[in-house]
Amino acid sequence: MRSPAVRGAWLLLCAWIASATALAGPAAPGQAAPVHAEPGAAAAASIGVPPAPASSQRNGREIYESFRAGLADPTCNADATSVRWKKHFGHAPGQLARSGEDLLPLFGYVVESLREASLPTEYALIPFVESGYKPGARSPSGPAGLWQFIGITARNHGVAMRAGYDGRLSPVDSTQAAVRYLKTLHGMFGGDWRLAVMAYNAGEYRLLQSMRSAGMNARNAKPEQLRGLSGITHAYVEKLHALACIFQLADDRAEWMHSLDRPVPRLASQALPGNISSLDAWANLQGHDPALLRRLNPALAGGISLSRGGKALRVLAPASGQTGPDPAIGSTLAAEPLPPTSGAALASTPSPPSNGAAAASGSHTVRRGESAWSIARRHGLQPQQLLKRNGLA
- Give me the pLDDT at residue 267, please: 97
Domain ranges, ordered by start, for the chain: 53-335
- Which CATH number describes the domain made up of 53-335? 1.10.530.10
- Give me the pLDDT at residue 142, please: 94
Element (H, E) at 267: strand 267-271
- Give me the pLDDT at residue 274, please: 86
| Whether 16 contacts 212, CB under 8 Å | yes
- Give me the pLDDT at residue 182, please: 97
Closest-CA residue to 10 (of 146, 258, 205, 161): 205
Task: Tell me, yes or no, if the pTM score tops 0.85.
Answer: no
- Give me the pLDDT at residue 346, please: 26
- Give me the pLDDT at residue 355, please: 43
Please list, in sequence order, all residues whose beta carbon lies within 8 angstroms of the beta carbon of residue 30, skipping any fewer than 6 positions away: none
- Cα–Cα distances (Å) from 80 to 221, 233, 239, 359, in that order, read 17, 17, 11, 46
| Whether 327 contacts 269, CB under 8 Å | yes
**Rounded distance between C-alpha atoms, residue 37 and residue 185, angstroms:** 21
Element (H, E) at 209: helix 204-213
- Give me the pLDDT at residue 385, please: 62
- Give me the pLDDT at residue 190, please: 93
Q: What is the mean pLDDT of each run of 10 residues along the chain (393 residues)?
A: 42 43 40 37 39 74 98 85 87 93 97 98 98 96 96 93 93 98 95 96 93 92 92 94 94 96 96 90 94 96 76 90 49 41 30 41 56 64 57 38
Q: What is the DSSP string of 9-23?
A: -HHHHHHHHHHHHHT
**Rounded distance between C-alpha atoms, residue 115 and residue 285, angstroms:** 31
- Give me the pLDDT at residue 214, please: 93
| Whether 160 contacts 153, CB under 8 Å | no
- Give me the pLDDT at residue 55, please: 75
